[in-house]
Amino acid sequence: MKHTFKITIDIDPSVDEPEVIIRAKEETALVREIASFAEKQMEKEQAGITVYKDGMTEEIDTCDIIRIYKEDRKMVVITGNGEYQARSSLQELEETLDKHRFLRISRSEIINLERVSGFDMSFRGTVKVIFEDGSYSWVSRRYVNNVSSRLAKLASAGSFEQNGREKS
């Protein structure tokens, strides 16, 4: 049986935090699945990761992450507040991070799309990612098609502005 439902998004500047209301005639498997999905997304939104710097352990919000990359067997986490190390593997971090916000651009790097100021596609066969802090990285050739299709989907959905930044 095909399920249909209506989605309404009500943007209200006076609201402090998002609220999800599911209105249905009865509780069904689909209703529970939608509720579960919303809860998981909110958990990911609020989740942080444990990082290390100068022998100290710290929990950082994932929204502060600019990029994560592997360098000399170490996981480097770059934020607006500096550079940290993580003990988790890139795969473990990728599974933890919000798939709508983070994107793998190579075997050794994941970026936060909300911290990207632009993409330079003028280089033949590759893509330069320019971050809001002025740093940059490159999409590996193997990932160019995945990155391009993801950006096209975001642009067609209207969730990406012309300058390459995801809309809030």
How does pLDDT run across 26-79, given as a tens digit for each residue? Answer: 888 888 888 888 777 776 565 688 999 998 999 998 889 999 999 998 999 999
Confidence (pLDDT) at 47: 65
Q: What's the rounded Cα separation, in Å, for the pair 46 and 59?
A: 12
How does pLDDT run across 78-94, given as a tens digit for each residue? Answer: 999 999 999 999 999 99
Once rounded to an integer, what is the mean pLDDT over residues 90-105?
Answer: 90
* Tokens found for residue 115: 């911290």
109 membership: H or E segment, kind and range: strand 109-112
Residue 155 pLDDT more than 80? no
Residue 1 pLDDT more than 80? no
**3-class DSSP assignment, residue 115:** helix
Model confidence at 122, pLDDT cuts 50, 70, 90, reads: confident
Nearest to 168 by CA among 94, 71, 100: 100
Query: Looking at per-residue confidence, does 77 or 154 come out higher?
Result: 77
Q: What's the rounded Cα separation, in Å, for the pair 137 and 150?
A: 17
Nearest to 67 by CA among 162, 134, 125: 134
Nearest to 137 by CA among 145, 149, 147, 151: 147
Q: What's the rounded Cα separation, in Å, for the pair 4 and 168?
A: 27
Q: What's the rounded Cα separation, in Å, for the pair 16 and 58?
A: 27
Confidence (pLDDT) at 43: 64
Query: Looking at per-residue confidence, does 136 or 99 come out higher?
Result: 136
